[in-house]
Amino acid sequence: MSLFDRLAARRLIVVTGKGGVGKSAMTAALGHGLAARGRRTLVLEVDPRENLHQLLDVPPSGGDAVEVAPNLLLQNLKPRQVVDWVVRKQVKIEMLVKRVQQSPIYHRFVEGAPGLKEMAILGHALRLVRGETPGVDAVDTVILDAPATGHGIYLLTASGLFSEAIGEGPFADMAREVAEFTADADATGVVLVTLAEEMPVQEAIELRQALEEKLDRQPELLVVNGVYPALPAAKVADAANDATDGAPEELLDLWRHRRAVNERELARLERRWSGPRVELPLLPVDRGPALVADLGGLLDEALAALDAEEGGR
């Protein structure tokens, strides 16, 4: 089975990484990739400031699951929706539901209770793949555009903590189910996105360690995004270059240095990272559907190359 197919077989893929590394574009590209393979896929965004719709070329979803392409859905989720849903299911009497939901105490509980939102997000994903969400037919895979790394590991561990702490009640049941779901590497996959720069690489390595320590598992894939292209052999040296190619020396100088930073960090990953890893180039394309399409194509190629490499061994 190819790497992409193995990834596609997951019920939930959590895409995580430091801020500004291109998580959302990668989430969108993976969404298209899975949908093209016939998986009914929903990309889930939890950022209150919606932006995935721009990458998928549709209007803001406004909180509902909307179809953006064949087999591909998009939803911008407010964790509150899920908590409210649990309340509604439990309390049943509409007037009481309203009272509860309007109470400031409830607001503070939902805003402040540690782990509750994280559990609600993953609980929602679980309901989606089980077909338990009213108005949405079951989906094969949910791809979650997760909050930045530090929060990423907490997202994955919070439900376990929550279920240990609570013990009883519907939230506890949900937390237990979610914890099992995310601990099962066959059901839930983690895709880590980074740039080949010091801080994001450091965070990627730390997240990997945290995943191993706390959940005894590893990320399915590391995507090194936005890599400057290698210089042609003749331009690598610092010596004066053939002036006939017309490129200003300052441009080549900046290129050389930025590429050197990338190579230093790629070398660090080579030493400290085992497991599937792909590199995607920095592209001269504005952030939008065209970038997503290009990244998707390159991701396909890179994963196929990894498969070939593995097969050749």
Partner 1 sequence: MSDGRLDLRSDQPPLVIVVGSGGVGKTTLAAAMGLESAAAGRDTLVMTFDPSLRLKDALGVSAASEDEEIAVPTAELGSGAGRLDASLLQAGRTFDRLVERYAPDAAARDRILGNRFYTHLASHLGGILEYMAVERLYEVASEQRYDRIILDTPPTTQAIDFLEAPERIVSFLDSGALQIALRPWFGDSGRLRATSGLGFVGKGLERFLDRIVGLQLLRDMSEFFRAFGPLFDGFRERADKVRELLAARDTVFVLVTGPGETRIPDTLFFARRLREAGYRLGPIVVNRVHPDFGVVEPVVDGAAGDGVELFRWLGASHRGGLAELRRLLPDDQMLVALPVEKDEPTDLRSLHALGARIQAQLEGAR
Where in 232-271 is the site for partner 1 (CB under 8 A)? 232, 234-235, 244-248, 250-251, 253-255, 257-258, 260-261
Going from the C-alpha of 26 to that of each of 29, 55, 160, 262, 278, the distances in angstroms are 5, 10, 27, 19, 12
Shortest Å distance, C-beta 1 to partner 1 = 34
Rounded least distance, CB 229 to partner 1, Å: 5
Q: Residues 9, 69, 148, 183: which binds partner 1 (CB under 8 A)?
A: 148
Residues 283-312 that bind partner 1 (CB under 8 A): 283-284, 286-287
Number of chain residues interacting with partner 1 (CB under 8 A): 74
206 binds partner 1 (CB under 8 A): no
Minimum gap (Å) between residue 135 Cβ and partner 1:
23
Measured from the CB of residue 177, what is the shortest distance to partner 1 in angstroms? 15
C-alpha distance from residue 82 to each of 12, 119, 186 (Å):
17, 9, 25
Among residues 138 and 199, whose Cβ is nearest to partner 1? 199
Minimum Å gap between C-beta 290 and partner 1 is 13
In the complex with partner 1, the residue whose CB is nearer, 131 or 272, is 272
Q: Report d(CA 267, CA 272) in Å as an integer.
A: 9
Say if CB 147 and CB 155 are below 8 A apart: yes
Which helix (H) or strand (E) segment holds residue 14: the answer is: strand 12-16
Identify the residue whose tokens are 């939803």.
75
- Comparing CB distances to partner 1, the nearer of 49 and 313 is 49
Q: Work out which of 198, 212, 270, 301 binds partner 1, going by CB under 8 A.
A: 198
> Do 189 and 212 contact (CB within 8 A), yes or no?
no
Quote the least distance from Cβ 54 to partner 1, whole Å: 9
Among 59, 60, 63, 170, binds partner 1 (CB under 8 A): 170
Binding mask 81-110 for partner 1 (x = CB under 8 A): -----xx--xx----x--xx--xxxx-xx-
CA distances from 254 to 52, 61, 238, 246, 251 (A): 32, 41, 11, 15, 5
Q: Which H, E and C letters describe 214-275, residue by residue?
A: HHCCCCCEEEEEEECCCCCHHHHCCCCCCHHHCCCHHHHHHHHHHHHHHHHHHHHHHHHCCC
> Shortest distance, CB of residue 137 to partner 1, whole angstroms?
28
Residues from 108 through 127 that contact partner 1 (CB under 8 A): 108-109, 111-115, 117
Identify which range of 35-43, 212-220, 224-232, 303-311 contacts partner 1 by CB under 8 A.
224-232
- Give the CA count within 13 Å in the CB-facing half-sphere of 116: 20
- Tokens representing 280 are 């995607």
The one segment of 1-9, 70-78, 143-151, 295-303 that binds partner 1 by CB under 8 A: 143-151
Tell which positions 22-61 bind partner 1, by CB under 8 A. 47-49
Q: Which of 229, 270, 272, 304 binds partner 1 (CB under 8 A)?
A: 229
User: 80 or 235: whose CB is closer to partner 1?
Assistant: 235
In 3D, which of 212, 216, 204, 210 has the Cα closest to residue 273? Answer: 204
Q: Check residue 148 and report its DSSP letter.
A: P
| Residue 101 to residues 96, 109, 113, Cα–Cα distance (Å) | 8, 11, 15
Alpha-carbon distance 225 to 227, whole Å? 6
Q: Give residue 24's Cα distance to chain centre.
A: 7
Site track for partner 1 across 10-29, x = CB under 8 A = --------xxxx--------
